[in-house]
Structure 1
Amino acid sequence: MTIEIKAPAFPESIADGEVAAWHKSEGDTVSRDELIVEIETDKVVLEVVAPVDGVITKIHAVVGETIEGEQLLATLAEKKSAALSSPPAQASLAASGDNASEPSSAELLGPAARLLVDEHKLDVSAITGTGKNGRITKEDILKFIKAREAKSAATTTASVEPSATIDKEPPSVSPSGERVERRVPMTRMRARIAERLLNATHETAMLSTFNEVNMAPVMALRKKYKDQFEKTHNGTRLGFMGFFVKAACEALKRFPAVNASVDGNDIVYHGYQDIGVAVSTEGGLVVPVMRDADFMSLADIEAAIRDMGLRAKDNKLTIEDMTGGTFTVTNGGVFGSLLSTPILNPPQTGILGMHKIQERPMAVDGQVVILPMMYLALTYDHRLIDGKTAVQFLVAIKDLIEDPARILLQL
C-alpha cells in the first residue's frame, strides 16, 4: 500500500515553507513516528514524521524547495512484512561487493548515502551514524565531508600528495595567511526576522526611555527562598525573569496604552496580558508567548520560560506558541549587555529590555553605597504612547522590583 506524506497545513499567518533537511533518502526504511523531513517556515521548523512503518519510494520535494501547506513531500510503501526491507538491503550488499565474512557497512547505508560514499571514496568506519540503529544517513555523509573540507582548508590551501607525508620537513605555509570569504544564503527564519525588523523601523515611531533599578531586594529574596522554592515547586528555579514578568503585568493594567496595538486607524486595547519572552536560538531570535501571564504564579512563569527555552533550542516550538502577544520582555543581560535599545515586535507597542546586573556606587541618604544595579529600557511606539506614559510605566516597574512585596499586594 502506497501512502502519501504531505506537508502539514499552515495557518493563515504563514504562506509557505521551505524544505530544510531530509533525514531519510529514497529506498530508506522508516519506522512509525520517525523523523523524515524538516520544513522551515517564517517562525518555526516543523518536523514531519512517518505515519507507518515502510520504505520511502519517492521524494517529491528537494532541499531548498518552497512548498505550500499539504503539498506532497514523499511517497511511502507501507511495510507489511520483513520481505519489503530485504531487496534494498540485498541490492546494497551486491553494490558494495562485501563478502559475508566481513562486517558489512552497506547494511548501515541507504542508496543515496552509498552513492556519496562511493563518489568521495570515504571510509565508512570513520563516519558516525545518527539514524536508527546507527544507520548512516545522507546528512551524516554531507556533514562528514564538510568537516573534512573545513579541516583541510584551515591547515593549508596547498595540495599535498600522499608521498609528501614521509618528508621530514612540513610544507611551507604562506606568511601572509588566508583571506577566506564564505557566502551562504539566509535561512528562511533569518530572512523573515530581518524583514520584520525593517518593517518595525519603517512603520512605527520607535522611541526608548531608560531607568535603573536596585536589584538588592529581589536578590535578597531570591537568596533566602530559592532552595525552598525549588523544592516546593518540583525543581523549578527562582530566577529574575518571573519578577519582571509579574511587574510588567501589573504595570500594564495601570497603563493600558502600553498593552494596546495599532490596527490601521484603530487602537485595540487588550483586556489581558499575553507576555512574549525573547529566546535566542541558533536560527535567530524567537518570541514564544505566555497566555494570561497575569494569572500565572512566579513558579508557573519560571517553569514556562524554562520549557519555552528548551523547546526553542530543540526546534519544538509550534506556530501557536509564537502567535499573538501584547507585550514583550527581553533580557540581553544574560549575554553581558549593559544597555541597549530593544526593537518593537509589531503590532505590539512596547518592549521591556533587561540588562546585566552591575555593582555601582550609588548615593543613598547622603552616603555612597555599592549596590547591584540594572539598567532598564522601554522601547515604545510614540504614535500611541506619549513620553509621560512611557516614563510612568517604567517607573512603575522599577518601584515594583525594588519593593517586591508590592507585586503580591498589587500596590
Structure 2
Amino acid sequence: MNPRAVSNLISACALTLFLCAIFLLFPIPARAQSPANDSDAQLVNKFLDQEREPAEGLKCVIKSMQPFLDFAFRFEVGYIVRCPLREFAGNGSTIVSFVRVKPEGGTAIVLGDAYKLPPSVGSASGNIRADQLKDEFDFSGGFAAGEGNYQVEVLVANREATRICTKRWHVHLERKRSEKKVPLTLNDNAAGALTILPWSGIFDTSGSGLRLTVLLDAAPVNPYSQKLRAWDRSFLLSALSTVMSQINCQSVRLIAFNMDQQKELFRKERFDEPGFNELAQAMRGLELGMVSFQVLEQKQGYASLLSRLATLEMTDAQPSDAVILLGPHTRFLDKPPQGFLPARDGKGPQFFYLEYMPSWLLGREFPDVVEYVTRSLDGTSFKIHSPAELAHAVQKIAAQVKHNGKQAGVAGQ
C-alpha cells in the first residue's frame, strides 16, 4: 500500500473514532446551541487543529450571515448549513454541529448542537415540510460577541456516514458611528453562546412593581423568511430580556405565539429565569415547523388568534397592569374585518406594541395586523429601529402605566 493510501486510511479511521466519541459524549437530542463540555471541546479542537488529507465529506454548504447588534447590546454572528437529504439515511438521521470561535487575543470557545433530521416524506399526515419538498435539510447556528476580530470554524458531522463538512472564515465586529454610544454587554474579543442573556432574574417584591404580560410574536426578523433561525430566536429573547431588565416587574406572564401556524406556542403564568431556556426550546421547534392544510384555509386565523389572546388578557380575573406585544414587523399587512378585532370596554390593562423595524424596511413602514389590533385596544405602538430606541420606548411605557395609584418605575431608578 502506498504512503498516500496509508495516510488516507489513517485519516478515515481517525475520523470514525472522532465521530463515535462525539456521538457518545454529545446528548441527543441536544438543547439549543450551547457551550460544549470539556471532552467534546478537546475532541473538536484536536480534530480542527490536525493536518489531514482531503476526504469525501458531506456535500453541505455553510453560509455565513451578516453580523448585527442585537437588543441585548452585543453582536450576533450567524450561519446557515444546507444539506441535500440524499446525503443521509432518510430515516431520522442525527447530525451534530460545532462552532469554534477564536477571538484575537482572547479565549476560544466551542459551542455544540444536535439535530434530528425529518423521516422520509409521508403524505398520510396531511402536513407539508418545505425542506422535504425541496429535498434539502437546513439549520442555523451562531454566537454572541463583543467588538474585535474573530476566526470562526464550523464542523458538521452525521452519525451514520462518518463524514463531515467544515468551513473557516474571519469576521471583524465594530459598532457603526450611530451605535458608538451604545454600551456593549460583552467585552472586546470575547464570545459566548446566544442563550446567555443579561437579565438578573430579580423581581420587585416591594408591592410597587408592575404585573406585566408579554405577548411575544415568535416570527423571523425578515418577515418573508420561512423559518425562525437561531439569530431570530436570540433576537426575540434579547428584546424580551431588555424589557424585563428595564421595567420594575412584580410578575411577568409570557405567551409566545406564531401567526403562520395560528397558534399559541408557549405559556408561563409566572415567567422566570429558567423560562428563557424553556421558551428557547419551544421556539426552536419552529426551525422545522409544519403548516397544515387546515391552517392555510383559515384566511383570518392570525387575526382571530390575536383577538383571542387580547380578550383573555382583558377578561382575566387578575388582569395585568400592562400588556406588551413584542416582535418584528410582520408580513400580515391587511387590516382585519371589524369582526376580527377585539372589543374594548375601557377596562383591563393598557396595551403597547413594540415593533422592530429592520433597516431594509425604512420608507416602507406600513401598519401590520398587530398594530391594527393595538389601535382597536386604544393602545400605543412604538416602531423600533435600534437598541437605544427600544430602551427609550420601554422607559415611556413605564412612565405611562400606573399601578395601585403609583407611577410605574424604571428598573435602576
TM-score (norm 2): 0.22
The structure whose Rg is larger is 1
TM-score (norm 1): 0.22
Structure with higher helix content? 1
Structure with higher strand content? 2
